[in-house]
Structure 1
Amino acid sequence: MEQVYASIITIGDELLIGQVVDTNSTWMAQELNKAGIWLKRRVAVGDDKQEIINALNDQAHDTQIILLTGGLGPTADDITKPVLAEYFGGKLVVDEKTLAFLHHLFENIYRRPLTERNLKQAEVPDVCTVLPNARGSAPGMWFEKDGRVFISLPGVPHEMKGLMTTEVIPRLQQHFTMPHIAHRTMHTAGIGESYLADVIQSWEEKLPAHLKLAYLPNYGMVRLRITGSGPDKDQLDKDLDTEFAKLKVLVKQWMVIDEDLPLHVVVGKKLMEQGKTMGTAESCTGGYIAHLITSVPGSSAYYKGSIVSYANEIKENVLHVSPATIAATGAVSEETVRQMVKGALDALHTDYVLVTSGIMGPNGGTAEKPVGMVWVAVGNQEKIVTQQFNFRFDRMRNIEMTANNSLNFLRKFIEEQG
């Protein structure tokens, strides 16, 4: 059983100039991987006929599946359909089922006239299999040529995801016989990538040939992911579980969680296990930590709220930090974040509080307190602990690093209290 490989071609000038961020490829890669298809390459091209044709030819050399997104709209710059019709030797014709759906969509859902421009959406190459798009006006298209499958999908993420889930993945699983792909992932913190590699070198060298280890450093943490592929799912899972258990023993003192979950989700799980609540008082992160936590459905069960105390007068008037403390030690200091914890506990009535205060840059630093210096505090009614961090990145990266390291600091505190 041979591995099946795919390529993704994203189409649109807006992607090349950075006006739109390509999130489609990331999501598609994850779904393909779950289905046993390994993504070999991601390519972005502009709204240019020859560039699209070149990309199709290039990707067809060594991948069995070529997926395209974008360029299926009703405007002049959406050229994917006519290019595909020419590439596969067909002509554009009206698909009656798509036309009927367009009338329904505009009359009953959009409640606006169906224009001649919109009617063009019903045109498809006569050499494709039409994939009905229940979420929008542009259908997907399935082509086959020289043993390859080419699939064209809308660039609108909501529509693309619907087509991938209901049409593309099921059809690919019927069309190809594929090995199983599975992963085991853990997060580590407090150890660098190179030192971590030294710790697990002997184990890594003895991994079976069908298992591979990847190091994924990010935000001061390192994810370790074991990936395996094989024809027998049960045996593959057994092999992965065996090696993952060995790895967990080796890195036990640095392991944050043995699942592929972000820290704000991990913290939420810990709070749910204890039946406890938390709140935040953020200065330098400006509510970013609150945003991460509340992005999780159901977080209202353990998260009460935040006080974004960006200005000193908010620290003093809302969190009751002493003006004398700020005058003596500054807003970015251990003394200040300790008092912020006490004030937040009183104001928010939570079991735990997480506090940040720092200098994110690019300005505002001094020799004593440079850009990237951050004080973090976590605490409850019985105990407050603090930690200083020093980051060296741009403003947004410093905020993200502060959030991640603060959440990990809180995670350890919650575990100790539990």
Structure 2
Amino acid sequence: MDAEIITIGDEILIGQVIDTNSAWIAQKLNDIGINLVQISSISDNTNNIIVALDHAIERADVVIITGGLGPTKDDITKETLCTYFETELQLNDEALKSVENYFESKGLKTTKLNRDQALLPACCKPLQNNFGTAQGMWFEKNGKVFVSIPGVPYEMKFIMEDSVIPMLSTKFQTNTILHKTIMTTGIGESYIAEKLSELESNLPENIKLAYLPKPGIVRLRLSGTGSDKKALETSLINYVQEIESVISKYVYGYDDEKLEKVIGRLLKDKNETVSTAESCTGGYIAHLITSIAGSSNYYKGSAVVYSNEIKEKVLEINGKTLKNHGAVSEETVIEMAESVRDQFQTTYSIACSGIAGPDGGSDEKPVGTVWTAIATYNSTITKKFLFENNRERNIERTAIACLNLLRKSIIDS
């Protein structure tokens, strides 16, 4: 069972609004065994909408249309759907009552423009919208289902969950679609693919492996389809275990779990604490750690020491170290890590110093050079990284690298 989403609105095409609706709808369709095959974004133009619908029914059984249902002249979806389904707009009494109740509850008068929201294509089944005046609409034609819903996210979500998903589940018998995600760090996408090449070649036809990289992290998503949910889940779990046996040292979690959350759990389980001393990341590591609820139980604080002057004043880094080796050096991050751990009295500390870019590099230390350190009660470990010439990604990758070094230190302690 396949579906397509058509998003309508010039605001999406010019980049004024980001389409988050489609990702949410795709997840909900997956949950009931409907596979999304395409997302199309089109302008508020009658011909474009009709062409998009014609193309959609060639490849999909269900077409979800979002947007273009407002009361203003630029919202033409209802009129276009009338043309497509060869029908006309009619006043729907239930929709009118819903619109009037909506404005009455807010102490407002219902205008003619508002009442026109109750004009719906005669052949559609109205879908109640409790959070706005634009009703959803359900159409059927030649065995295909078409659903038109508002583009306002909270209105769209209500109609999808209250009406569309239950109705699709009742109408269609679908296979189960399941996903299992393995979270990895410390290894690139191509290197993982090489290690898993034989295993991937032997996957059955109903199970696919996808590689989803982002700075410092590669997600491995196993997706399976089948009529027997329990058997499919067992099969996916078995393949997750096979994959982990090949790349175990790079696996830190499952199902989109954040690295900072994994670290928080490890620290809480051992009743241990951590502090951070950041230069090139400017507090980003602290931000990630404190984004997790309950982080106050294990995170003491951070020293963001961007300049050499502050490194000396706040962390008491030896001036000779900075002069002889530079801020971006193994010697400096060792002193940073040990100093902040001592001052904050934590079990572990993280330190990093690097050249995020795009300026500041040299032949000896090009942009993307980063030194990191983890200090514990009995040792300090360091690692040098050579990233790229992109400031934002260098900051992200440094933070992930530091968190992963901490994770390994906690596990090995």
Common fold, TM-score beyond 0.5? yes
Do the aligned partners of 2:275 and 2:344 also contact (CA within 8 Å) in 1? yes
Distance 1:175 1:380, change over 3 A: same
Read off the aligned partner of 2:223 and give its amino acid letter: T
Q: Larger Cα Rg: Structure 1 or Structure 2?
A: 2
Read off the aligned partner of 1:353 and give its amino acid letter: S
Per-residue CA deviations over 1:186-235 (Å, capped at 9, x if unaligned) read 12334343343333333333322322222233324333222211111111
Offset at residue 7 of structure 1 (A)? 0.9
Do the aligned partners of 2:212 and 2:218 also contact (CA within 8 Å) in 1? yes
Give yes or no for the alignment of 1:238 onto 2:234: yes
- Bigger shift: 380-389 or 39-48? 380-389
Aligned to 2:315, the other structure's residue is in SS state: coil
Give yes or no for the alignment of 1:355 onto 2:351: yes
Read off the aligned partner of 2:41 and give its amino acid letter: A
Read off the aligned partner of 2:158 and give its amino acid letter: G
For 2:29, the equivalent position in structure 1 comes to 32
Do the aligned partners of 2:373 and 2:382 also contact (CA within 8 Å) in 1? yes
- Bigger shift: 405-414 or 306-315? 306-315
Distance 1:58 1:334, change over 3 A: same
Offset at residue 5 of structure 1 (A)? 0.7
Distance 1:353 1:93, change over 3 A: farther
Distance 1:56 1:385, change over 3 A: same
Read off the aligned partner of 2:136 and give its amino acid letter: G
Q: Which residue of the other structure, out of 37, 44, 47, is the alignment partner of 1:47?
A: 44
Distance in 2, Cα, partners of 1:117 & 1:348: 63
Q: Which residue of the other structure, out of 362, 366, 381, is the alignment partner of 1:366?
A: 362
CA RMSD of aligned residues (A): 2.7
For 1:135, the equivalent position in structure 2 comes to 131
Distance 1:360 1:70, change over 3 A: farther
Matches within 5 A, 1:174-323: 174-323=170-319
Q: Which residue of the other structure, out of 162, 167, 174, is the alignment partner of 1:171?
A: 167
Distance in 2, Cα, partners of 1:112 & 1:305: 50
Distance 1:380 1:62, change over 3 A: same
Distance in 2, Cα, partners of 1:68 & 1:161: 13
Do the aligned partners of 1:216 and 1:223 also contact (CA within 8 Å) in 2? yes
Distance in 2, Cα, partners of 1:41 & 1:143: 20
Segments of 5+ residues of structure 1 without an aligned counterpart are: none
Distance 1:307 1:58, change over 3 A: farther
For 2:394, the equivalent position in structure 1 comes to 398
Offset at residue 415 of structure 1 (A)? 1.5
Runs (4 or more) in structure 1 with deviation over 6 Å come to: none
Distance in 2, Cα, partners of 1:342 & 1:117: 68
The number of residue pairs the alignment matches comes to: 413
Read off the aligned partner of 2:202 and give its amino acid letter: K
Offset at residue 301 of structure 1 (A)? 4.1
Do the aligned partners of 1:318 and 1:343 also contact (CA within 8 Å) in 2? no
Distance in 2, Cα, partners of 1:117 & 1:319: 65
Offset at residue 306 of structure 1 (A)? 3.7
Aligned to 2:59, the other structure's residue is in SS state: coil
Identity %: 47
Instruction: Give TM-score scaled by structure 1 length.
Output: 0.88
Offset at residue 135 of structure 1 (A)? 3.2
Do the aligned partners of 2:181 and 2:254 also contact (CA within 8 Å) in 1? yes
- Bigger shift: 195-204 or 359-368? 195-204
Read off the aligned partner of 1:42 and give its amino acid letter: I
Segments of 5+ residues of structure 2 without an aligned counterpart are: none
